[in-house]
Structure 1
Amino acid sequence: MRVLLIGDYPPPHGGVAIHVQQLHQFLRGRDIEAKVLDIGKGGRPVPDVLPVQSLAGFGLRLAGFLSAGWTVHVHTSGNNTKSWLMAAAAGAPGPRAPRVITLHSGLLPGFLAGSRARRALARAALAGYARVVAVSEAVKEALVGCGVAEEKILVLPAFCASQVKPGLLTAAVELARTRRRPLLAMAHHPSPVYGRKVMFRALRLLADEHPDVGLAVFGPGTRAPEFARDAREARVAAHLEDLGELEHDEALGLLSRCDAFIRPTTHDGDSISVREALTLGVPCVASDVCTRPEGTYLFRAGQAPELAQRILQAIAEGPAQVSSPDAGPVLLELYEALASSRLSNERPMAATY
């Protein structure tokens, strides 16, 4: 069996890209021939990761894998038209190659609810896939509302617990750990969806009682003028540890050493970082905008005082004992079933000369 994963691949280290990377590592660890068609920004060369430079290049590479009968697994957000057009292109009906797609974004239900045309596009795009993986029940319900057959949809968090392995701590993380009590951590993105402002307001409340508190922020956009402006207006600049963009194993190293991980998002899917923190035995405080894993400390989205209270509670009570899911074995079993079904349905073709 041979598996082609299609999706973003780090860098940058977003949720979809990390899941593709970890799933690729899982399959290779099981001696499965697996390659990645990287439709993201592309980064340094990685074995069996093929960057796509153009739409034509994507089509040519994909056609080759399809004709060779590779099992294809597409990973995309589903929260914009471009995502659905890519899904439609990769799922176009054709012989030999079983197709699977995972839809990752917590914004997907809202996007599909926006118009009948979007729902029709989603329904048509998914017609060529044997199975559709939804990362949450909310995503599944939105797809069923589009007319996708419920029995075709598998709800499975995009998380591979077996691949959560912290790297060595950077000097900046070591320094932050030494001088901050407590040390909090938050994944950052320029989008307001990530909840930077409410986190800063909560941090100000914490700092009034805990002057040594620090927030380690990592991810894109921490050097932007808007970031500095928000930190200045909230009067928390002195409490920030700006770590910039970290390699994924470095980010896991940070999570393993912080006192609590915070996910203050205004919208969310199934957050990989939340599950990573819980898997590492770190208390996690997250907004209530979606279903969170058992053991997460929840606060009402946008409520800074409640967020501050829940952070103190999480630090005092510590992490819960959790059982983290691993999508790797489930997906491998699915690939094997689809490959076996395809082979059993194929008939010998007459030789041509």
Structure 2
Amino acid sequence: MSDKKRILITGPVFPPAGGVSIHLKRLYEFFSGSFDIDFADESRTIKPGIFNIRSFRPGPYFKMINKSDLVFIHSGSQLLRFLHILVARLFQKPVLLTFHSYPATRYGLAKKLESLFLASVNMIIAVNEIIAKRIDLPEKTIVRHAFLPPLLGKEPELPEVVLKWINNKREEGFQLVCSNASQLVMFNGEDLYGLDLCIELAHRWELQNKKLAMVFVVSSLEKNEEYYNESAAKVRSLGISDRFLLVKEPISFVSLIRQSDIVCRPTMSDGDSLTVREAIALGKPVVVSDAVERPEWSILFRSRDINDLEKVIAQTANEKLGGLNKETVSFDGYYKPYEMLFNELTGGKKYEE
């Protein structure tokens, strides 16, 4: 029997790829040698051998929590968050909770209920200062952005069809831009991840005969498959398939970033974007909307402004940006704080920032 401490992680398990599922994947890859890690998966994609909360099997779920030394919650659903906290506390298990997002509009009964549940949590991680302020529990909240550097040796190669398309563009003298969406979402009636902006951008490049091409990855079609099909049809109708590749599978975005010249993140809203931090760590210029506060080295454009996006991408393609020309992936300062937290909450050394 293993003498390693056991951690139960709740949240969306990769695949499909998304900011939270990639975060959990990297936690597992890094810590599975020093901790026994189980998952209570909340994704709609069922994976063999991984317990999924949507199976509605309370027996295995209770058993996993009872066996754990720490319950680490990453749930996006408030209801599931409450469930995990309640059951963990019933079994007297320590709880670590990460908020990857937090709506500004939570109030009334929902806010009171959440405050009641959060009072029993051992420690809370907020991925940015705004979320920490909205939670308003400074005595037990720390701010730590969600980015964890990739283990490059574990990243899969790009699919052959994608790599071939990229290599063809390279041979034709094109610079490559990449962008992505975990899934297609409408936000206030508009495209949250900016797929529509990217298609229009590629159309303008075609009309101006610019040597720029884009790969846009949609990791999952759990939502808005019809919108994806409409977008794919628009790419064909505009005649831009030779400079805009739309991918509908969860490929390694890290591998795609490494093959690209520019990374684009045209979202209308965001948390602490994994894509942006990966691009910076991998030495790539990253053009991002100003919808939220962005990390240092981000290159901003006005959110939902296609003209400004076009201008900023063109300027970025024409410039050599000093300080962003080599990969700076490092594990120092990223994984160690989690190890210290795990050790404290499972009975080891006290965590200190």
For normalisation by structure 1, the TM-score amounts to: 0.82
* Equivalence for 1:80: none
Does residue 311 (structure 1) correspond to residue 310 (structure 2)? The answer is: no
Contact 2:179–2:264 (CA under 8 A) maintained in structure 1: yes
Number of the residue aligned with 1:84: 78
Task: Please point out which of 340, 350, 353 is paired with 2:347.
Answer: 340
1:267 positional shift: 0.6
2:114 is equivalent to residue 122 of structure 1 = yes
Gaps of 5+ in 1: 78-82, 344-353
* Residues 146 and 272 in structure 2, CA contact (< 8 A), matched pair in contact too: yes
Matches within 5 A, 1:45-124: 45=48, 49-55=50-56, 57=57, 59-77=58-76, 83-92=77-86, 93-105=89-101, 108-110=102-104, 113=105, 115-124=107-116
The 3 A distance-change label for structure 1 pair 334 and 175 is same
- Measure how far apart 1:11 and its partner are: 1.6
Q: Does 1:5 align with 2:4?
A: no
Answer yes or no: is the 8 Å Cα contact 1:135–1:270 preserved in 2.
yes
Give the match's secondary structure for 2:103.
Answer: helix
**2:185 is equivalent to residue 185 of structure 1:** no
Tell me what 2:37 maps to: 34
The answer to whether the 8 Å contact 1:282/1:319 transfers is: no
Once the two structures are TM-superposed, the CA of residue 109 in structure 1 deviates from its matched residue by: 2.6
CA RMSD across the alignment: 2.7
C-alpha change, 1:207 and 1:52, in structure 2 (3 Å) is same
Counterparts of 1:246-325 in structure 2 under 5 Å?
246-247=250-251, 250-315=252-317, 316-318=319-321, 320-321=323-324
Contact 1:266 1:302 in 2 (8 A): yes
CA distance in 1, matches of 2:346, 2:256: 40
Compared CA separation, residues 69 and 177, structure 1 to 2 (3 A): closer
Residue 150 in structure 1 maps to residue 138 in structure 2 = yes
Secondary structure of 1:291's counterpart equals coil
SS in 2 for 1:157: coil
Q: Aligned in 2, Cα 1:211/1:117: closer, same or farther, shift over 3 Å?
A: same
Q: Which amino acid aligns with 1:76?
A: S
Aligned residues: 323
Shift of 1:280: 1.7
User: What is residue 351 of structure 1 aligned with on the other side?
Assistant: none
SS in 2 for 1:76: coil
**Cα 1:228–1:164 shift into 2, 3 Å:** same
Identical aligned residues as a percent: 24
Alpha-carbon distance in 2 for matches of 1:120, 1:235: 53
Contact 2:196 2:231 in 1 (8 A): no
**1:287, 1:9 → 2: CA distance?**
27
Change over 3 Å in CA distance of 1:142–1:229 after alignment to 2: farther
Deviates more, 1:17-26 or 1:67-76: 67-76
**Is the 1:100–1:131 Cα contact (8 Å) retained in structure 2?**
yes
The offset of 1:187, in angstroms, is: 0.5
- The answer to whether the Cα contact below 8 Å between 1:24 and 1:35 also exists between their aligned partners in 2 is no
Residues of 2 paired with 1:319 and 1:43: CA distance?
44
Which residue of the partner structure matches residue 215 of structure 1? 214
| Cα separation, 2, equivalents of 1:14 and 1:126 | 25
CA shift, 1:245, in A, is 0.8
- Aligned equivalents of 2:142, 2:24: Cα separation in 1: 18
Structure showing the higher helix proportion among its residues:
1
- Which moves more between the two structures, 116-125 or 300-309? 116-125
The question of whether the paired residues in 1 share the 8 Å contact of 2:99 and 2:125 is answered with yes
In structure 2, the residue corresponding to 1:35 is in which secondary structure?
strand
Letter aligned with residue 175 of structure 2: P
The 8 Å contact of residues 218 and 244 in structure 1, kept in 2 or not, is answered as yes
Distance 1:193 1:125, change over 3 A: farther
CA–CA separation in structure 1 for the residues paired with 2:194 and 2:25: 26
Question: Equivalents in 2 of 1:115, 1:204: separation in Å?
Answer: 43
Determine if contact 2:9/2:73 at 8 Å carries over to the other structure: yes
Which range is displaced more, 220-229 or 130-139?
220-229
TM-score, with length taken from structure 2: 0.82
Say if 1:61 and 1:177 are closer, same or farther in 2 by CA, change over 3 A: same
Pairwise CA distance, 1:308: 1.6
Q: Secondary structure at the match of 2:74?
A: strand
Deviations 1:61-103 (A, max 9, x none): 34223333520101123xxxxx111111111133541101111
Residues of 2 paired with 1:161 and 1:120: CA distance? 36
Q: Which amino acid aligns with 1:158?
A: A
In 1, Cα distance between the equivalents of 2:264 and 2:59?
42
